[in-house]
Amino acid sequence: MLIFRSEEHVENWLRQWRLPRGEAISLDQCWRLAVNWYAPDRREAEWRRKTVDEVEAVFRDLDFTSPFWRLR
């Protein structure tokens, strides 16, 4: 996941490297995703990776609804 100054810079980069477009999200969405993913303490014995259902719920909350975000 890379950061760009703007949408125009994403398009330039995709053209330059002949890559298909993925999905662009705002910095705020990325921050909320980061908090959701990484705030739970991975040192704790109870910590475990999120289930598919839990990840889907996170994506729904962030309005990540396109097929790009589908896990199954």
Q: Give residues in contact with other proteins (CB under 8 A).
A: 1-7, 9-10, 12-13, 16, 19, 22-31, 33-35, 37-39, 41-45, 47, 49, 55, 59, 67-72
Q: How far is the CB of 9 from other proteins (least distance, A)?
A: 4
How far from 19 is each of 2, 22, 47, 48, CA to CA, in Å?
Answer: 13, 9, 36, 34
Q: Specify the residue, 2 or 53, whose C-beta has the smaller distance to other proteins.
A: 2
Q: How far is the CB of 54 from other proteins (least distance, A)?
A: 13
Cα-based torsion angle of the residue sequence 37, 35, 26, 16 in order, rounded to the nearest 10 degrees: -50
Q: Specify the residue, 47 or 53, whose C-beta has the smaller distance to other proteins.
A: 47
Q: How many residues does the chain have?
A: 72
